A = this chain, B = another copy of it.
Amino acid sequence: MAAVLEFAILGLLQESPMHGYELRKELTAKLGAIRAAISYGSLYPTLRRLQAGGWITEAAETPATAEEVPALTSRRGRVVYKITAEGKERFAQLIAQAGPETYDDTGFGVHFAFFARTDQATRLRILEGRRRKIEERREGLRDVLGRAAERLDAYTLELQRHGLDACEREVRWLEELIANERSGRAPTVPNIGTAGGRREDNSPPPPGETRNERP
């Protein structure tokens, strides 16, 4: 139902309007730890879906004056997308819902990537839901390694061991994040660098927000 890409695009377009190619690059940078690279075969259909729903619109290229020198640099068939008020509402709604489907690998990753736009209570709920899910996976792997070990070959066992290790590690990571969250601080390293770059949107940060700001 929730559609990971839809969510991510709405989140990114809230920072600034973008065309498809740029969107893909930003998406890849932001979700690099989660997904390898977003396929155009998903991106463009999703954009059309979002447009059909009224969550985003096509914005005309050539920013202010239309009769500028047209041959300056590349300015051809680019289609710039822009989020609508309904889109922002939708995004907030998707965050607020944040059900069990949010706890699988991809769903969690993409939600986490937009934690800066998520209120603290929801952050905590998501982190705990995710931890629970990983703990279950961990128990499943332990079961297999314990009970069914004789039925499996050495390679399969090694794979399970590696997976189990990753689970234990992630649980510990989540514990830290949860502790940090409860103490009201931002993630591990309190404040890395300053938030530069573009920030044209003027939507107020959600309550309980912890976000890098210009000093």
Give A contacts to B, CB under 8 Å: 29-30, 32-34, 36, 104, 109, 112-116, 137, 140-141, 144, 148-164, 166, 169, 173, 177, 186-197, 210-212
Contact = CB atoms under 8 A, between A and B. Distances in A.
B32 A160 contact: yes
**What is the interface of chain A mostly: helix, strand, loop, or mixed?**
helix
Nearest to A30: B156
Given A193-B150, A194-B150, A112 B159 contact: yes
A42 to B, nearest CB: 16
Contacts of A157: 187, 189, 192
Nearest to A140: B32
B195 A153 contact: yes
The 10 tightest CB contacts between A and B, nearest first, are A33-B163, A115-B155, A116-B153, A158-B187, A151-B197, A150-B193, A150-B196, A154-B186, A154-B187, A33-B159
Contacts of A188: 158, 161
B151 A211 contact: no
Contact of A210 (B115, B154, B169, B177): B154
Contacts of A156: 30, 113, 116
A210 B154 CA distance: 9
Contact of A116 (B155, B177, B186): B155
17 contacts: A29-B144, A32-B141, A33-B163, A34-B159, A34-B163, A109-B159, A113-B159, A114-B155, A116-B153, A116-B154, A153-B195, A154-B191, A155-B187, A158-B187, A158-B188, A161-B188, A166-B166
